[in-house]
Chain A
Amino acid sequence: MASTDVIVQEVSRRDDSQRFVNDFSLQVATVNGSGSQSANTILLRSIFQMGIPVSGKNLFPSNIAGLPTWYTIRANKHGYIGRKKEIDFLIAMNQETAREDVLSLSPGAAVLYDEPMNLASLRPDLTFYSVPFDKIVATVCPEAKLRKLVKNMIYVGVMAHLLGLDMVQVENALRKQFAKKVKAADLNWGAAQAGFDYAASSLSKKDPCRVERMDKTAGKIIVDGNTAAALGSMFAGVTVVTWYPITPSSSLVETLIDYMKKYRIRPDGKATFAIVQAEDELAAIGMVIGAGWAGARAMTATAGPGISLMAEFAGLGYYVEIPAVIWDIQRVGPSTGLPTRTSQGDVLFTAVLSHGDTKHIMLFPASVEECFSMAQDAFNLAEWFQTPVFVMSDLDLGMNNWMSDPFPYPTQPIDRGKVLSKEDLDRLGGFARYKDVDGDGIGWRTLPGTDHPAAAYFTRGSGHNEKAQYTERPDDYENNMLRLARKFEGARARVPKSVQMGSGRERVGIIAYGTSHWAILESRDQLRNEHGLESDYLRLRAYPFPHEVQDFIENHERVYVVEQNRDAQLFDLLRLDLPVEQVGKLRSIAHCHGLPLDARSVTDELMSLEGN
């Protein structure tokens, strides 16, 4: 089973006592820099180790310490791991946001809070659990200055009791988290136990959220998309990486650095890679272009502001035909926007990034597994088509924890594309860099340093003919641009195919891409179970759009294009691409609040557009 599928089960809404068993969303409200990340990861892993599908999403500020952050853990027996709109259980640790957090909960939700905040009087329709964190922590942590750090572990213990988590799993998760730091692990384990004991003796369970052991996570991994992308790039044989730090892409390269140092240094101490922190994104992409020209598998990772800076070089890469891989971990724009929130807001701009007629191949990973596999696809496509390839991830995918099947070892060989060697030149006598000898619009190239007097050619961003010579002739320019367009057309058949779900015979179709996928999976079940509406679903994985997209639209009365931006960007790209008679079938569902898309919002909007 691919990790983008869910465990489809009959959803029963009637039995309320069962409803929140292995199906709830739990939110921890803290301030950033308070060390709550370890506690949250341990909670997440404990649920995971009990075999229950789970996901973790960090909603954090663009700040180093002291501002509110929310971490949401969703456990779901059906395997829905997208964001759930409602919070079922709030752990309120931040005085500053507690009131608003509590007031925004749906009736029936539960709240665990630090005693002095005295939240119970705020609402009569919620379940409250008051815990004297400071008193408990004082009993397990004699050293006052460490208390702040272990305080969060108390709620892990309390929640273990309230949810029915197995403390053996909690301890396993905790020891994994602290790895070799045995003393810290012992101290924190003491705190977790104290929390558990307090809950057992002083709290009585009143809310319905519970866990029960399942077997849906055996063999699975938990990983964020940036780590997956880093791994994919390493196994794709990347040799040159250049970057300029920017959230949410930095961790991609930082993780890659760690892995490369561990696995890509030879026994003689020599690295089979070069990673350079550039002075800005202009330089980062410039280095990638230079390295790609000279034959390296070169990549960079960035986010919106960096993409803006890369525009001129992107056009150069397209026009002089140089492979490059650029990861865009999309965040909310325009401008600095919301640097720590997610979006799919760079899609339209990136598709045509640069002045002049320009088009770029884009890949849309939806899962961590696809971050891994598309890292390899990206290099193979970039080198085959001799062009920049943009991998459009996003903050939700890149920085949050996702459950996945382990990644399969690559079976595709590393395809370096059409490169002529000295021996080829001996045989051929010469070559013309931009001549379409194979009818696919892709010329053959040589690498600098090729030891043959006919190997060299002149790469220029100004007008050039088949032989890469300077030209201002109208026919040369036009022929070259038409060839580039043909080459781009050819990519439709070679980019990752769309993934389709449903019978294929429904009237309503849905098109989505990237992380919107998780909301769609769940929303389709909601549409079926709550409204009796069956739908077919096509998940796009690449631009230019593969041929099956038109067939899909052809076969449906209405097609909803769901995405996470304001201006319906992919919808717009489809409109540019499709025959006019198909355009009228498209409807847009676009969300742009910076939070990962949730199923409920899609279901509601789709039903209202359906006239219900």
Chain B
Amino acid sequence: MATTSSAEPKTNRIGLTVIDYKGGRTTLCAGCGHNAISERIIDAMYEMGVQPERVAKLSGIGCSSKSPAYFMSRSHSFNAVHGRMPSVATGAVLANHNLIALGVSGDGDTASIGIGQFVHLMRRNLPLIYIIEDNGVYGLTKGQFSATADIGSKLKTGVINDLPPIDTCALAIQLGASFVGRSFSGDKRQLLAMLKAAIAHRGTVMLDVISPCVTFNDHEGSTKSYKYMKDHDEPLQEISFIPSFEEIDVDYDPGTTVDVTMHDGSHLRLRKLDVDYDPTNKLRAIATLTEAHHEGETLTGVFYIDPNKPTFMDLLHVTDEPLATLPADAVRPPKAVLDEVMESLR
């Protein structure tokens, strides 16, 4: 949209415009949910004032895994092999824990070929944002069912899925991820708030974002279509996020709202909708997900959060400087050490 030429472009707290967060032109289908998620990532990073150079984008293989090419060109990116983004991301964070690691995967990439690495990533609570762009099918290989497809959901070809879905959120909570939620690519407000909170979180954030595939799974009978989500999206809470660098100007009612103080001092506010829900209770979270599943509802919102759980990097106790760029004298012990070892082997 045209703006008046005299107006300064809007900038964020580090002086960047939203353009500085843009990526290449998308090659995904028009209307693909993944594109909307890319947009929200751009907004969240811009609004949080994240230095793009500090971000490392990581992905596997799939339409979803291509999407890092379509946002934040000023960040390094690694489109790895199918289902193995977690290990590549882990290596990158081990090498440089000052990076803000953003992993983008698909439901096929995560829940089938990559389930092993996914499980172990969650278990480690590595500082990383892990987004599943979940459309219930393998988009890039032309629409086969994935392991998150609901029982009874139907392909365009008429094939009906007769296996139960893997609930990646329940799995992530059980395994040790410290921030787990589900959203919908079509719910701008909710997704943006969750992404901003994800950026503020320290530890593994696992967001399963329902992201309809307009080409292969948006028809009648699909449980991952825009229409289905409009009818069945059941938000648990109304989510707002107040970053650490903003004044808190709105009070909240502790009777209706859970306020989570994040590690960096930000606040995540979850206003209860129907049910009384405590997002710090693991057992309750898993039970709630299971119940919703039985009811045929697609619950969205923040299911679980522990802002202070030690991360994998805390456990490894590495130097504050990135391991990758430690100077030679920090990583090669002096000659006296070799002499001592040689003496012990005589």
Which A residues form the contact surface with B (CB < 8 A)?
A: 219-223, 227, 231, 234-240, 242, 259, 263-264, 266, 269-274, 276, 278-280, 282-298, 312-313, 316, 406-407, 409-410, 413-414, 446-453, 455-462, 470
Contact = CB atoms under 8 A, between A and B. Distances in A.
A287 B124 CA distance: 13
B92 A291 contact: yes
B53 A274 contact: no
A294 B331 contact: no
**Interface of B (DSSP majority class):** helix
B331 A239 contact: yes
Contact of B96 (A227, A294, A316, A406): A294
Contact of B335 (A269, A272, A409, A470): A409
A296 B324 contact: yes
Contacts of B323: 239-240, 272-274, 296
Interface string B44-74: 0000000111101010000000001100011
A448 B79 contact: no
A235 B117 contact: no
B75 interface: yes
Contacts of B346: 219-222, 406
Contacts of A287: 87-88, 90-91, 94
B92 A448 contact: yes
A458 B70 CA distance: 11
A280 B90 CA distance: 14
Given A221-B345, A287-B87, A413-B328, A271 B319 contact: yes
Contact of A290 (B69, B88, B330, B342): B88
B1 interface: no
Return the 6 tightest CB-CB contacts between A and B, nearest first: A290-B91, A286-B87, A295-B324, A237-B331, A296-B95, A291-B91
Contact of A286 (B20, B53, B56, B80): B80
Contacts of B89: 290
B338 interface: yes
B273 interface: no
Given A234-B333, A290-B78, A449-B53, A470 B69 contact: yes
Contacts of A274: 94, 316, 318, 323
B338 A235 contact: yes
Interface string B124-140: 00000000000000000
A458 B116 contact: no
B322 interface: yes
Contacts of A240: 91, 94-95, 323
B56 A294 contact: yes
B331 A272 contact: yes
**Size bin of chain B's contact surface:** 35 or more
Contacts of A278: 87, 120
Given A222-B345, A414-B328, A458 B86 contact: no
Given A290-B89, A447-B96, A459 B76 contact: yes
Contact of B332 (A220, A227, A286, A410): A410
Contacts of A263: 333, 337
B310 to A, nearest CB: 15
B317 interface: yes
A456 B73 contact: yes
B117 A283 contact: yes
A260 to B, nearest CB: 10
Given A295-B325, A458-B69, A279 B92 contact: no
Nearest to B59: A460
B338 A458 contact: no
B73 A264 contact: no
B332 A414 contact: yes
B57 to A, nearest CB: 9
Interface in B293-346: 316-320, 322-326, 328, 330-333, 335, 337-338, 341-342, 345-346
A509 B77 CA distance: 50
A124 to B, nearest CB: 44
A336 B146 CA distance: 32
Contact of B333 (A221, A235, A455): A235
Contacts of B326: 237, 239, 272
A283 B79 CA distance: 16
Contacts of B342: 221, 406-407
Contacts of A298: 91, 94-95
Interface of B: 20, 51-54, 56, 58, 68-69, 73-81, 84, 86-96, 98-99, 116-117, 119-120, 316-320, 322-326, 328, 330-333, 335, 337-338, 341-342, 345-346
10 contacts: A221-B346, A227-B345, A272-B331, A274-B318, A286-B91, A298-B95, A414-B328, A414-B332, A447-B76, A449-B322
Contacts of B331: 237-239, 264, 272-273, 297, 414
B333 A295 contact: no
B54 A242 contact: no
Contact of A457 (B76, B80, B325, B335): B76
A447 B81 contact: no
Given A279-B119, A312-B81, A453-B74, 18 more contacts: A239-B95, A240-B95, A270-B319, A272-B323, A274-B323, A286-B81, A292-B91, A294-B56, A295-B324, A447-B96, A447-B325, A449-B54, A449-B98, A453-B53, A456-B53, A456-B74, A456-B75, A460-B78
A292 B322 CA distance: 13
A234 B340 CA distance: 14
Given A269-B317, A271-B316, A459-B79, A286 B88 contact: yes
A276 B318 CA distance: 12
Nearest to A288: B91
Given A455-B76, A456-B75, A259 B341 contact: yes
B23 to A, nearest CB: 9
A414 to B, nearest CB: 5
Contacts of B316: 271, 274, 276
A235 B95 contact: no
A448 B98 CA distance: 10
A294 B79 contact: no
A409 B341 CA distance: 11
A286 B90 CA distance: 8
A573 B99 CA distance: 42
A231 B341 contact: yes
Contacts of A461: 79-81
Contacts of A296: 91, 94-96, 323-324
B102 to A, nearest CB: 11
Contacts of B94: 240, 242, 274, 276, 287, 290-291, 296, 298
A465 B161 CA distance: 41
A276 B90 contact: yes
Contacts of B318: 270-274
A400 B146 CA distance: 49
Given A240-B94, A240-B323, A462 B79 contact: yes
Nearest to A421: B325
A270 B94 CA distance: 14
B320 A449 contact: no
Contacts of B78: 290, 293, 459-460
A263 B80 CA distance: 34
Contacts of A448: 56, 75-76, 92, 96, 99
A448 B326 CA distance: 15
A450 B92 CA distance: 14
Contacts of B345: 221-223, 227, 406
A280 B116 contact: yes
Contacts of A264: 331, 333
